Amino acid sequence: MSARPPPKSCDTFVVLGNLTKGGHVVFGKNSDRPNGEVQEVVYQAPATHSPGTKLKCTYIEIDQAEATHAVILSKPAWMWGAEMGANERGVCVGNEAVFTKLQSDDDKTERLLGMDLVRLALERSSTAEMAVGVIGSLLEQHGQGGPCSDIEPDLLYHNSFLIADPTEAWVLETAGQHWAAEQIKSGYRNISNTLTIGTKIDRMSEGVQEAAKEAGLWDGSSEFSFSAVFSSGDSTGGRQECGEQLLHKLSEGGDFSLTQMFEVLRDAESGICRGMDHHHPTAGSMVSVLSKEGSGRPSCHWFTGTPDPLRSVFKPFIFTDNVKISPHIQSPKIPADQDPAKVVPRFASKVNRTHLLYRRQQAAVQGGGGNAATLREVESKCVQETEACLENFDMGRLSEMDDLFKDCVDSELKFYK
């Protein structure tokens, strides 16, 4: 497989409860994708499935779980999987492209995408540690591979994941079908497009060390470091370090907050935030506040659904029994026999996947409208009102949050008119 520079894309962050306002875990991610790719926000209700049911992921079919959790996802519109999301149990997952010494032309073979693994983990896990097991077992069983873009069909990569719940976080990194995971119980952590797990490995795939020896990547006697053994040496242009410095600075007071995670995701100087003039712009962003046990308040998840967080509005979503999701932030459904992502040869043609909010926001930005300062005021008011409501929340009135996300999308649309 010919060497190619990695996309300078994606950053995922988490700050644990010992450093946050209220003791809640704060998770955030910027999803940076090929320019022109549309990201949508979708809700999937909980479901039960008959034994033997099959599930069609982006490329391959696998066994369906007997029960799946409700999930909220920010996903490239062309694929089944998701870049990031959360489930009703307070689990969040985001993934990153990583480049390893095990990459080869075999990565072109269509298997599970890293984004499929994000969604599968959310649908099947009630804790972050359980999500580690789900991703690890599916990776070992099915492998990862296939084009990761419908705009750049030669975009192939392995994956790393940052997984969080209200009590802890895990980093899981892969090289082919091999993986290692590290548990984080306090402080903060961020991942970008490079392997970060060294010798502190809390869980790993069976046979990973033997495979490293057989490949001539480890001598078998020195201390085993997953990143040292498998990393291809590609850097992230300093974004990993810049992100870590931002988290350190903003969490020093021990009261890191939702809006400070917005600030991290909007940091353009570091390259964490990128506009539509970049070949891999920030296509969508997410921040979650995962409420600690006994707090009496639901977790709240904030999504943009549009490119460039500096030009976008974060909108709140809370899981309820009858939650509504706006159709205006979802891409049109393309019949399978007309969808270039689902027929062979792949991506032979293009279709329009833009949703209404995407079109209105982009038109406003290109026309010089969509004033960022005014948008920020609208968002700030929404944050204040939502936080005030959650501060003294009555879980018996959870149904009042059914239309929260939908109403915020509708309000943003009116702003662009």
Specify the pairing of strand 169-175 against strand 158-164. antiparallel
Query: Residue 132 belongs to what H/E stretch?
Result: helix 128-142
Asked if pLDDT for residue 366 goes beyond 80, the answer is: yes
Q: Are 86 and 92 in contact (CB under 8 A)?
A: yes
Using one digit for the tens of pLDDT, what is the confidence trace for 308-352? Answer: 999 999 999 999 999 999 999 999 999 999 999 999 999 988 899
Cα-trace Rg, the chain = 20
Does residue 3 carry a pLDDT above 80? no
The mean pLDDT value for 39-68 works out to 98
Which listed CATH number (3.40.50.1820, 3.30.450.90, 3.60.60.10, 3.20.20.80) goes with 11-416? 3.60.60.10
- Mean pLDDT, the chain, rounded, equals 94
For the chain, give the percent of residues with pLDDT over 70. 97
Q: How many CB atoms are located within 10 Å of the residue 127 CB?
A: 17
CA distances for 132 relative to 44, 91, 122, 270, 301, angstroms: 21, 11, 10, 30, 21
pLDDT digit string (tens) for 278-312?
999 999 999 999 999 889 999 999 999 999 999 99
Mode of pairing for the β-strands spanning 282-290 and 54-56: unpaired
Q: Known catalytic residue: 10?
A: yes
| Amino acid found at 360 | R
Asked whether residue 4 carries a pLDDT value surpassing 50, the answer given is no
What one-character-per-residue DSSP string does 204-273 give?
E-TTHHHHHHHTTS--SSSPP-HHHHHB-----TTHHHHHHHHHHHHHTTS-B-HHHHHHHHT-TTTTSS
Q: Give the residue from 197, 130, 158 showing the smallest Cα distance to 7.
A: 158
Of 1-10, 67-76, 378-387, the least confident = 1-10
Spot the catalytic one: 10, 148, 242, 382: 10
- The most distant pair of C-alpha atoms in the chain lies apart, rounded to whole Å, by 65
Instruction: For residues 376-386, give the mean pLDDT.
Output: 95
Q: What φ, ψ does residue 195 adopt, rounded to 5°? A: -70, 140
Distances (CA, A) of 315 to 161, 183, 287, 392, 400: 24, 30, 10, 20, 16
Residue 7 banded pLDDT, cuts 50, 70, 90: low
Beta bridge partners of 284: 31
Q: What tokens appear for 336 in the block?
A: 């399978």
- For the beta sheet containing 71-76, the strands, ordered from the edge strand earlier in sequence to the opposite edge, are 39-44, 71-76, 84-87, 92-98, 158-164, 169-175, 178-184, 203-204
Q: What is the rounded distance in angstroms from the CA atom of residue 12 to the CA atom of residue 192? A: 7
Give CA–CA dist 45/28, Å, rounded.
23
Q: Count of CB atoms within 10 A of residue 403's CB?
A: 16
Structure tokens at 226: 């997953």
Is a pLDDT exceeding 70 seen at residue 52? yes
User: Quick one: pLDDT at residue 368?
Assistant: 74
What type of residue sits at position 109? T
Q: What is the pTM of this model?
A: 0.97
Count how many residues are written for the chain.
Answer: 417
